[in-house]
Amino acid sequence: MKIIIIGTAYPFRGGIASFNERLAEELMNMGHEVIIYTFTLQYPNFLFPGKTQYSQEPAPEKLIIKPLINSINPFNWIKAGLKIKKEQPDVIISKFWLPFMGPSLGTVIRLAKNKNTRVISILDNIIPHEKRPGDYILAKYYVNANDEFVAMSASVKEDMKKFTTTKPVKYIAHPIYDNYGEIVDKKTARSHLNLNPDGKYVLFFGIIRNYKGLDLLLKAMANKEIQEQNIQCIVAGEYYGEKEKYEQLIK
């Protein structure tokens, strides 16, 4: 089959890009023809709270990744959708995580699919962690463009009842990434990081955002029972937003 994946991929970085690239690789290993159409512009810089949207790593090997979609240009959505339509895809897959992407992805999909194209959405979220006015309308526009859905968590599958009761929604737990190199044993990893080989550690890693609960973890670390066990907290990640409140909690 000819499968088109629409969404974040190299040169953009992050978990969604990694997911789409790994999915494309697996589908190719199964014998399918796969093209990823990614963004020319994903977020305007003023809407992006991190350091950079772009990867510093080499491009993935053997994958066909074509920058095409500008998330804030409706004229581009039309052009992109019609271009993908010419590929005559058997399946279109897109990953959804934020209502902001609803208009661009929803429009591109509507224009890209043919009569017999199967359109599948993989959902990280349908209701965002950080809610904004208009979220439901934007997400609903996207939902209506798809035929069926894969929810990455049971809660998202439940949330989908607010958007559709007629389209199939299947829960498949988010897979464990296997594309970040070989597993390193604990002893070697601790030695590399100059950590006590017998120490007790709690690890928080990944992007630091308000809804992820780092503040709760830091407050828990101040608990007397925790301190008596000599447990140390390691925070490894990038701030998306204010960091002062976390620094104050650490102090």
By percentage, how much of the chain surpasses pLDDT 90?
A: 68
Instruction: Tell whether 123 and 40 lie within a shared domain.
Output: yes
Contact 5, 38 (CB under 8 A): no
Each residue of 10-26: pLDDT tens digit? 998 888 999 999 999 99
Select from 143, 171, 199 the last residue of a domain: 171
**Cross-strand partners of 235:** 204
What residue numbers bound the domain in which 91 lies? 2-171
CATH of the domain at 8: 3.40.50.2000
Query: Is the separation of the CB atoms in 75 and 12 below 8 Å?
Result: no
Same domain, yes or no, for 143 and 97? yes
pLDDT of the residue at 53: 66
Ramachandran area for residue 40 (φ above 0: left; ψ -120 to 50: alpha; else beta): alpha
Measure the CA–CA gap between 192 and 5, rounded to whole angstroms: 37
For residue range 167-187, what is the model confidence (pLDDT) as tens digits?
Answer: 999 999 988 888 878 889 999
Look at residue 50 in the predicted model and tell me its pLDDT. Answer: 58
Higher local confidence (pLDDT), 29 or 45: 29
- What's the pTM value of the predicted model, to 2 decimals? 0.83
**Is 20 a domain residue?**
yes
